[in-house]
Structure 1
Amino acid sequence: MSIGERVTALTNQMTNLDDRWRDVFHAVPRHLFIPDRAWCHPDDGPGYLIDRTADPETWMDVAYSNTSIVTQINDGAADIGRGKGDYTSSASAPSVVAAGLKLLDPYDGDEVLEIGTGTGWTAGLLANRLGDENITSVEIDQAVFTTAAENLKRAGHSPRLILGDGAGGWPEKAPYDRIHVTCGVYQVPYAWVEQARPGGVIVFPWMPRWEGGHLTRLNAVGDGTAVGRFYGGVRFMMLRSQRWSRPRHEDVYRRSTTYLDPRRVVRSSYGAEIAIAGMLPDVCGAHEDQEGGEFHLSLWSDDSDAQVHYAPDYKGIAVLQRGPRGLWDELEAAYLRWMSWGTPHRDRFGMTVTPEGQHVWLDSPDNLIT
């Protein structure tokens, strides 16, 4: 199968592509941005190594699949061939890239700031659509930056590449018509709002500490604030300055019982995820299904943690909490508050970013839930 046929087969799977972006995907072949050895990370199965030298056909098949491909682990300190460690750079799944570009909705001649060059593929797509001179892309990792520059040169593009921390944007070329972010953030850096032209758009993956991630589009409204809504679910690697780790707590647990099923708290809807993340922005969670239908939920913040365990043979659900906060009590109250609103879905929520911080709202920016 030719490259053109592979691109056509891939883009035919993506209903969110208009004809102009479809042409761009053909003009900037994805395989030019995939390293010879990488880790395929499908949504529906275990990951596996792709090696162009050992198996060129599988490598090319994956390059043109609708799958994310991990290109760096542990900031380059781990062997990509083992697939173990923290994923720190990747080529996002093409459908996710297309969704972000659709929300970006640039006009001809728009100047775009991209945060997170990665492999360089999305910078290449933007440069092909808008011109090299209109694209500025910021990458914090020296090795990733160097490889992206080589990839873009091979693809025939030379957007402005900046080695630096994307949390600060790139004020030298501001203001920008569009800001395109390829890494997750739980707190929107205000520099991005400052560097957006009035009427400009910021598209980014909001990755709150609570469950899930949400593709988000904010509009810079010209008074120093940006307002917008949440769209599809996504998972992205975090902006490096916003990575977090789980703290260790040594306090003695307080025991209690709840009748609220923790499975419903974490599985009700994306609307519940956003509501909880908005009300409890500093609370993290992780859960797992266990043998015999049991289910375990862990919660933690900087100073407290909680363990909640469901077992089908018991009506009451065991709760352990320690630290100055009762994290399960707070989570239970937030979830039931969302239910009291009529269980609104994701499309009814939005976000406002101001110089003082960010706030989640329901239905209207005047109705803050934080």
Structure 2
Amino acid sequence: MAEPADLVVALARSGYLTEPRWRDAFLAVPREEFVPPVAWAVPTDGTPPHPIDRQTGPARWRAAVYTDTAVVTQTDDGEGDPATGTGTGTSSASAPGMVAAFLELLDPYPGDRVLEIGTGTGWTAALLSTVLGSDAVTSIEVDDQVAGQASVNLGRIGLFPTLITGDGALGWKRGAPYDGIHVTCGVREVPLPWVEQTRPGGSIVLPWVPGFNHGHQVKLTALGDGRAVGRFAGGSTYMLMRAQRPAGPDFDGGGWREGATPLDPRRVTHAAPGAHVTISGMVPDVQAHGAAGADGTFQMWVWDGSSQARVAYDPGFERSGVEQRGPRDLWNEVEAAYLAWAGWGRPGRDRFGLTVTAAGHQVWLDAPDNQVAPTP
């Protein structure tokens, strides 16, 4: 049966787990104590998602625990049953590879005090506590049921970090300043309290999930003047922070405006991550989804809170049909952003960064003063 050492070896081989202190923590903290008996497993190796049940299928359950597998532990904010695979996942035990990547990105010093946003099952709080000591870790969780179970899980293995039930977007001012903030949920906009509660020179690591395609790992450094600045480090896929879940478009009843484009929407959807960072910077709040048809067709939808566009590619036509409605011509904006990225030489994600201030956040290329400005 799968064991903690198997997981550590696999993560080390994949490059996720490189530091001895985190390898030791992954060995010391039994993940099995943080995964419920019945849940929904989402492997990262392409294996289809599936239910796991410790009683009826102990080997399969343990395999999910000690491989690079995310485990959905709550759906529909507690109203659903995660074992069925239906509903929207709202809490999970994150995939160990992504957990390792963010912990190594945080890179805390001995003696650092860390605030974790999103306790979840408590596993990452346990890993942080093992390395830094429980007294150095504060973890905040918005869902009282999830927080209660995390407390039980942590206590079962003798770890007692400070656990707070509340809105993580507000941070936890009472314990500030922190040397690091470790975020375990997707963030569309970085809350200013995190910047204000981080010591100058301290780090904030988070999954930036603006909505266009997948998310991005980012490490920000607090500057002590109300700003935090940092670069993107890789990809990530996390459930969004509850306070930042986007609402659907609110239309005023206007009809569709028809048009066409020579740009194949598949090239936009499947572009390298640098393109998606550019689009998110130039077209704020845009979200997107694409789907291929069995006949070679492809459709792409883009939307924000007030506007929507859909683009239909058909291999039998030179141009793709475009329909747009709402006050913004969203496809035109997305197309212009994609072509701007291509015109810059298709820069990779690691050349981009993010600046957070009281006025909001700003994407930049190569240096903070070279801003990726929103389209007019």
| TM score, norm. by length of structure 2 | 0.96
What's the counterpart of residue 283 of structure 2? 280
Partner-residue secondary structure (3-state), 2:295? helix
1:10·1:64 contact (CA, 8 Å) conserved in 2?
A: no
Structure 1 residue 34 and structure 2 residue 35: aligned? yes
Tell me: CA distance 1:5–1:326, structure 2 relative to 1, closer, same or farther (3 Å). closer
- 1:238 is aligned to 240
From 179, 182, 188, the equivalent of 1:180 is 182
1:21 corresponds in structure 2 to 22
Deviation string, structure 1 residues 16-64 (Cα, Å, up to 9, x no partner):
3311111111111111100000100123132111000111111111100
The C-alpha deviation readout for 1:169-205, integer Å capped at 9, x for no partner, is 0000100001000000010000000000000000000
| One-letter amino acid of the counterpart of residue 157, structure 2 | A
Q: Return closer, same or farther for 1:7/1:210 CA change in 2, 3 Å cut-off.
A: closer
Cα deviations by residue, 1:255-281 (Å, 9 ceiling, x for unpaired): 111101111111121000000000111
Cα displacement (A) at 1:10? 4.1
* Counterparts of 1:313 and 1:36, CA distance in 2: 51
In 2, are the aligned partners of 1:210 and 1:281 still within 8 Å (CA)? no
Matches within 5 A, 1:27-106: 27-43=28-44, 44-106=46-108
Q: What does residue 354 of structure 1 align with?
A: 357
Identity among equivalent positions (%) equals 51
Give distance in 2, aligned partners of 1:181 and 1:251.
Answer: 40
The one of 365, 368, 372 aligned to 1:365 = 368
Q: Distance in 1 between matches of 2:287 and 2:11?
A: 36
> Residue 321 of structure 1: which of 315, 321, 324 is its match?
324
Q: Hey, what does 1:306 align to over in structure 2?
A: 309
Asked whether the equivalents of residues 115 and 180 of structure 2 are also in contact (C-alpha less than 8 Å), the reply is yes
Output the CA distance in 1 between the equivalents of 2:86 and 2:3: 31
Q: Within 1, Cα distance between the matches of 2:213 and 2:49?
A: 22
For 2:211 and 2:250, the matched residues in 1 are separated by: 17
Q: Between 121-130 and 75-84, report the one with greater CA deviation.
A: 75-84
Alignment partner of 1:161 out of 160, 163, 166: 163
Equivalent residues in 2 for 1:189-228 (5 A)?
Answer: 189-228=191-230
Structure 1 stretches of 5 or more lacking a match?
none
Q: Distance in 1 between matches of 2:215 and 2:302?
A: 17
Q: Which amino acid aligns with 1:307?
A: R
Following superposition, the deviation at residue 11 of structure 1 comes to: 4.1
- Please list the CA deviations of residues 297-335 of structure 1 after superposition, one character each: whole Å capped at 9, or x if unmatched: 011111111110000000011000111111111111111
TM-score normalised by L of structure 1? 0.97
Contact 2:353 2:366 in 1 (8 A): yes
Report the Cα distance in structure 2 between the residues aligned to 1:119 and 1:177, rounded to whole angstroms.
Answer: 23
Q: Contact 1:209–1:281 at 8 Å: present in 2 too?
A: no
Contact 2:119–2:141, Cα closer than 8 Å, also in 1:
yes
In structure 2, distance between residues paired with 1:312 and 1:148: 51
Question: What residue identity is the alignment partner of 2:149?
Answer: T
Number of the residue aligned with 2:113: 111
Residue 135 (structure 1) aligns with:
137
For residues 7 and 329 of structure 1, the distance between their equivalents in structure 2, rounded to whole angstroms, comes to 46
In structure 1, what is the Cα distance between the partners aligned to 2:349 and 2:39? 34
Q: 1:247 aligns with which of 241, 249, 255?
A: 249
What is the RMSD computed on CA atoms of the aligned residues? 1.3
Note the C-alpha offset of 1:12. 3.9
| Alpha-carbon contact 1:11-1:22 (below 8 Å) kept | no
CA contact (8 A) 1:348 1:363 kept: yes
User: Contact between 2:247 and 2:305, CA under 8 Å: does it hold in 1?
Assistant: no
How far apart are 1:222 and its partner, in Å?
Answer: 2.0
Deviation string for 1:101-133 (max 9, x for gaps)?
111000111000000000000000000100110
Separation (CA, whole Å) in 1 of partners of 2:4 and 2:156: 17
How far apart, in 1, do the equivalents of 2:258 and 2:151 lie?
55
Greater Cα shift, 162-171 or 50-59: 50-59
* 1:141-152 equivalences in 2 (<5 Å): 141-152=143-154
- Once the two structures are overlaid, the 10-residue window that deviates more, 123-132 or 40-49, is 40-49
- Matched-pair contact (CA < 8 Å) for 2:170–2:191: yes
| Correspondence for 1:258 | 261
CA distance in 1, matches of 2:231, 2:53: 40
Amino acid aligned to 2:80: A
